[in-house]
Amino acid sequence: MRSYFAYRLPKASRPKSAVTNADGYEDLNINFRRPGRPGVLDHFGVEVESIHEILDRMDRPFPKVKALRRLINRPFSSITTYDPDGNFFNLSHPDKNNKKDIYT
């Protein structure tokens, strides 16, 4: 798959937690399955123009869904949230200044 999509590997890999590939436009992170978690595609990262607008739009239909501000050491996401089906979403904006490695 890496050769088909021209993905590149990050300089520092995390073999015990995830395998990451990217081509500059799309990133594919394969996180190892934890005990009790199904092996499904359920974690997505999206770059958006306005995180606040997205969170406001989510709040109307899903007021109980919460968002978590990520630590500065995260190379992509500013906010992590989820939907009622259990899918996770990492949200980032174009001017996030701690993007590094394959996320730049």
* Domain extent for 45: 2-103
Instruction: Look at residue 39 in the predicted model and tell me its pLDDT.
Output: 74
Dihedral (Cα; 12, 99, 30, 28), 10-degree rounding: -120
How many structural domains compose the chain? Answer: 1
Q: Encode the chain (104 residues) as per-residue pLDDT tens digits.
A: 445 455 555 566 555 666 776 666 666 777 777 788 777 777 788 888 888 898 999 898 989 998 988 777 666 778 888 888 888 888 887 776 656 655 55
Q: Which of 29, 41, 42, 39 is nearest to 1 (CA)?
A: 29
Q: Read off the amino acid at residue 18.
A: A
Q: Is the dihedral of CA 31, 59, 91, 45 positive or negative?
A: positive
- 79: domain CATH number is 3.10.180
Q: Which of 90, 56, 75, 61 is nearest to 11 (CA)?
A: 75
Cα 37 to chain centroid, rounded: 18
